Amino acid sequence: MATLELYQVCKRFGASSALTPTNLQVADGEFVVLVGPSGCGKSTLLRMIAGLESPSGGEIRIGGRCVNAQEPSARDIAMVFQNYALYPHMSVRENLSYALRLRKLERAEIARRVDWAADLLGLQPLLARKPAELSGGQRQRVAMGRAIVREPQLFLFDEPLSNLDARLRNHMRVEIKQLHRRLRTTTVYVTHDQVEAMTLAQRMVVMNHGRIEQVGTPEEVYAQPASTFVAGFLGAPPMNLLAARISADGAQVLVDDLAPLPLPAPQPSLAGRAITLGLRPEALLPAVDGRWSLTLNLLEALGGELLLHASLGRQACVLRVATTASPWREGDTLRVQVASTALHLFDAASGQRLPS
Amino acid sequence: MKRQWLRRSALLLQALLLALPLYAALIAASHAPGDLLGRLPWLPGNRLLANLRTVLGAGLPGSPSVLRMLGNSLVMALGIALGKLMLATLSAYAVVYFRFPLRRTAFVLILSSLMLPLEVRFYPTFQVSAGLHLLNSYGVLIVPLIASATATFLLRQFFASMPPSLLDAARMDGAGPLQFFLHSALPLARTPLAALFVLEFVYGWNQYLWPLLTTTDARYATVVMGMQGLINAGTSFALPRWDLVMTTALLALLPPLLVLLLAQRWFIRGLTDIEK
């Protein structure tokens, strides 16, 4: 087990920059998730940590020692790939033991480690099979087994669940979490799925356009998104982002011609500024004496909860209400209450979070 | 229903056309030379085994032993097929997996040589072989023919179709270029390799002009080119020995057929689904 440190690591492909200089520290035993839309640089970053790509600049340290010049196999890390990348012509046992055989470990030690990993992942009955004879979930487990038999200092996961169907994905997500709980190996996990990021991460790194937007625990990132990008990326459905303005006295938020919302504390510095107002779908609470009134356009019943798509002034928004049966119908007008503590303010131009 | 009938008869006709010369050879090979004077019997005779024994034992007077020619052909065909596969696998692997200057140029050059028929380069190749004192040897039968654009191209396509993450995984596992080649690329390529082996074996076995040009010593005669000499030898008797010539022809047909039958399963798979 080891720490991972990135100092000013960047990657350019020709003239285009895939990753702007990036710093990141991962503590020993920590589970960090890199999350972002495709093309945000998260996979490039992971591949550079793995040694499959070389950085255009900066320094990568694993366990305190610089690994920039080291081959992937010398870095004492293991990686699980999106398409599993199992060797199709080798049995599960051979797949698991390949790295150990290349390292010329003793036979007894190889057998011990393979059996240990197979027990841990429930692969014992499958050891003699070829990857083609396995289901998606089983292949995924073999890919993880291949990583853990090496007893590496660092695990890297590159979108390991995106080839699985939804049900299996939930199941494997739990397995990965339990595995990390047992092994306590430092892990960097790349995904574009915000649910995976929220549930697995001890700390998450939200990336966009080749740079880090925000680093923090899932709770922090969810509660205090650093930008409109992060706000819109996390949460399903995502946060409502409304064009708004701060009143001339800096004490209220004005959305179109709706009733003004008081800020929790007046912000004279923001007085009169155009902003983006962020409201989580669950922050808009239906209430008879609510401040705002909105028109329902569409209802989506999810069983335990209800999604209400509505027009708020001239803008669209989504509400999430925990109820099984809807007392409303499409076309109804609804009054909602907004808690002043639930307001997220962002600069209208830069999208950066503003103090509120 | 009617259309199917039509299709079937067309197929049948084609098969018959293909089989007819073969049948004629079988008939000639199973009769005594006297029965073949001026006519071809309709049914096979009973002398096939006797003729085989004569051909494989004594051979035809005035020509090299048939057994020896078959052996030479086998050496040449195996040499060419294996040599081609080895060279093509290595060059395809290099073109796909290594970044080196002029990589694309190298591949385009290999590919463009696909357009040139073998016969175009006979003269310079002959000159080089003669200059290296290779004439009249197994070397000259094999080495100049083992560069294969077709095989390189097919294998390049195969390697390029393998998921790149397989290489990544092997690199993480600590496999070097040679280990990835031996442990992963080569075993995975076994179906296309088997298909190519069949193609190239038949190609090597059927070489006619090149052995004729480069070997004058009867010790290196191959059966396909030796056939010509056999016909001369066979017909120089008062009683032409078409029975023996045709028996030899049947023997010359056999090895490529055997190779095809043995590797048939892989052959079809290797040419149709290059994926797995």
Q: Does A83 sit within 8 Å of B165, measured CB to CB?
A: yes
Read off the CATH number of the domain in which B162 is found.
1.10.3720.10
Question: Taking 70 as the threshold, does the pLDDT of residue B273 lie above it?
Answer: no
Say if A77 is an interface residue toward chain B (CB within 8 Å): yes
Q: Does B172 sit within 8 Å of A52, measured CB to CB?
A: yes
pLDDT of residue B276: 42
Beta-sheet strand order (sheet of A274-279):
A261-262, A252-254, A240-246, A274-279, A344-347, A353-354
Is A268 in a helix, a strand, or coil?
A: helix
List the single residue in B with minimal CA-CA distance to A146. B173
- Using CA atoms, how far apart are residues B219 and B213, in angstroms rounded to an integer? 14
What does residue A317 show for φ and ψ, rounded to 5 degrees? Answer: -150, 165
Say if B172 is an interface residue toward chain A (CB within 8 Å): yes
Looking at the complex, report in whole angstroms how far the Cα of residue A81 sits from the nearest Cα belonging to chain B: 7
Burial class (CB in 10 A: 0-12, 13-18, 19+), B216: exposed
**Chain A partners within 8 Å of B169 (Cβ):** 79, 81, 85-87, 146
pLDDT in tens, chain A (356 residues): 689 999 999 999 888 889 999 999 999 999 999 999 988 999 999 999 999 999 999 999 999 999 999 999 999 999 999 999 999 999 999 999 999 999 999 999 999 999 999 998 999 999 999 999 999 889 999 999 999 999 999 999 999 998 888 888 898 899 999 999 999 999 999 999 999 999 999 999 999 999 999 999 999 999 999 999 999 999 888 999 999 999 988 888 998 888 888 888 888 888 889 999 999 999 998 888 888 989 999 999 888 888 999 998 889 999 998 887 778 888 888 899 988 888 999 999 999 998 87
Is A128 in a helix, a strand, or coil?
A: coil
The better pLDDT of the pair B264, B137 is held by B137
Q: Does A71 sit within 8 Å of B168, measured CB to CB?
A: no
**Token pair of A278 as six digits:** 């962020």
Q: Is the peptide bond before A266 cis (omega within 30 degrees of 0)?
A: no
Q: Does A82 sit within 8 Å of B172, measured CB to CB?
A: no
Q: Does A103 sit within 8 Å of B172, measured CB to CB?
A: no
Long-range contacts of A308-316 (CB under 8 A, 24+ apart): A308/A334, A310/A334, A312/A240, A312/A242, A312/A255, A312/A256, A312/A258, A313/A255, A313/A256, A313/A257, A313/A258, A314/A256, A315/A242, A315/A243, A315/A255, A315/A256
Cross-strand partners of A24: A6
Residue of B171, B173, B182 best to disrupt the A interface, most CBs of A under 10 A: B173
List the single residue in A with minimal CA-CA distance to B163. A85
**Chain A partners within 8 Å of B188 (Cβ):** 88-89
List the single residue in B with minimal CA-CA distance to A155. B172
Cross-strand partners of A78: A155
- Using CA atoms, how far apart are residues A354 and A190, in angstroms rounded to an integer? 29
Residue B193 resides in a domain: yes
Provide the angle, in degrees to the nearest 10, between the axes of the packed helices B264-272 and B242-262. Answer: 60
Beta-sheet strand order (sheet of A16-26):
A16-26, A4-13, A57-62, A65-66
Looking at the complex, report in whole angstroms how far the Cα of residue A173 sits from the nearest Cα belonging to chain B: 22
Residue B19 resides in a domain: no
Please count the structural domains in chain B: 1
Residue B201 resides in a domain: yes
Q: What is the pLDDT of residues B236-254, one digit of tens each?
A: 776 778 888 888 889 999 9
Contact A242/A255 with Cβ under 8 angstroms? yes
Q: Does B172 sit within 8 Å of A99, measured CB to CB?
A: yes
- Using CA atoms, how far apart are residues B172 and A293, in angstroms rounded to an integer? 58
Q: Does B187 sit within 8 Å of A85, measured CB to CB?
A: no
Say if A101 is an interface residue toward chain B (CB within 8 Å): no
- Using CA atoms, how far apart are residues A265 and A245, in angstroms rounded to an integer? 16
Hey, which of A211-215, A261-265, B61-65, B111-115 has the most confident mean pLDDT? Answer: A211-215
Say if B276 is an interface residue toward chain A (CB within 8 Å): yes
* DSSP letters for chain B: -HHHHHHHHHHHHHHHHHHHHHHHHHHHHTS-GGGGTT---SS--S-HHHHHHHHHHT--TTS--HHHHHHHHHHHHHHHHHHHHHHHHHHHHHHHH---TTHHHHHHHHHHGGGS-GGGGHHHHHHHHHHTT-SSSHHHHHGGG---HHHHHHHHHHHHHS-HHHHHHHHHHT--HHHHIIIIIHHHTHHHHHHHHHHHHHHHHT--HHHHHH--SGGG--HHHHHHHHHHHHHTSSS--HHHHHHHHHHHHHHHHHHHHHTHHHHHHHHH----
Q: What is the pLDDT of residues B14-34, one digit of tens each?
A: 999 999 988 988 888 888 887
List the single residue in A with minimal CA-CA distance to B190. A89
Q: Does B169 sit within 8 Å of A50, measured CB to CB?
A: no
Q: Which of A340, A309, A311 is nearest to A326 (CA)?
A: A309
Helices (H), A201-343: 218-223, 228-233
Say if A190 is an interface residue toward chain B (CB within 8 Å): no
Residue B199, sorted as left (phi over 0), alpha (psi -120 to 50) or beta, turns out to be alpha
Residue appearing with tokens 């190609």 = B203
pLDDT of residue B275: 44
- Using CA atoms, how far apart are residues B111 and A255, in angstroms rounded to an integer? 66
Cross-strand partners of A311: A295, A316
Q: What is the pLDDT of residues B146-198, one digit of tens each?
A: 888 889 999 999 999 999 999 999 999 999 999 999 999 999 998 889 889 99
Q: State the CB neighbour count (10 A cutoff) for residue B13.
A: 10
Residue B97 resides in a domain: yes
Residue of A43, A81, A146 best to disrupt the B interface, most CBs of B under 10 A: A81
**Token pair of B113 as six digits:** 């040589």
Residue B180 resides in a domain: yes
For residue B149, the enclosing domain spans: 64-225
**Chain A partners within 8 Å of B165 (Cβ):** 81-83, 85
Beta-sheet strand order (sheet of A292-301):
A284-286, A333-338, A292-301, A306-312, A315-321
List the single residue in B with minimal CA-CA distance to A81. B165
Residue B274 resides in a domain: no
**Chain B partners within 8 Å of A72 (Cβ):** 168, 171-172
- Using CA atoms, how far apart are residues A252 and B153, in angstroms rounded to an integer? 70
Residue B123, sorted as left (phi over 0), alpha (psi -120 to 50) or beta, turns out to be alpha
Give ipTM to 2 decimals: 0.83
Residue of B97, B99, B172 best to disrupt the A interface, most CBs of A under 10 A: B172
**Chain A partners within 8 Å of B171 (Cβ):** 51-52, 71-73
Residues in chain A, overall count: 356
Say if B165 is an interface residue toward chain A (CB within 8 Å): yes
Q: Which of B274, B84, B70 is nearest to B197 (CA)?
A: B84
Residue appearing with tokens 């993450």 = B165
Residue A73 has its nearest CB partner, among B165, B166, B174, at: B174
- Using CA atoms, how far apart are residues A144 and A84, in angstroms rounded to an integer? 9
Q: Does A71 sit within 8 Å of B171, measured CB to CB?
A: yes
Angle at A231 between CA A230 and CA A233, to 5 degrees: 60
Question: Taking 90 as the threshold, does the pLDDT of residue B79 lie above it?
Answer: yes
**Chain B partners within 8 Å of A50 (Cβ):** 168, 172
Q: Does A89 sit within 8 Å of B184, measured CB to CB?
A: yes
**Chain A partners within 8 Å of B174 (Cβ):** 71, 73, 99, 102-103
Say if A50 is an interface residue toward chain B (CB within 8 Å): yes
Q: Does B165 sit within 8 Å of A102, measured CB to CB?
A: no
Looking at the complex, report in whole angstroms how far the Cα of residue B264 sits from the nearest Cα belonging to chain A: 21
Q: Number of A to B CB contacts under 8 A, please give it.
A: 58
Say if B173 is an interface residue toward chain A (CB within 8 Å): yes
Residue B157 resides in a domain: yes
Residue B176 resides in a domain: yes
Q: Which amino acid, A342?
A: A
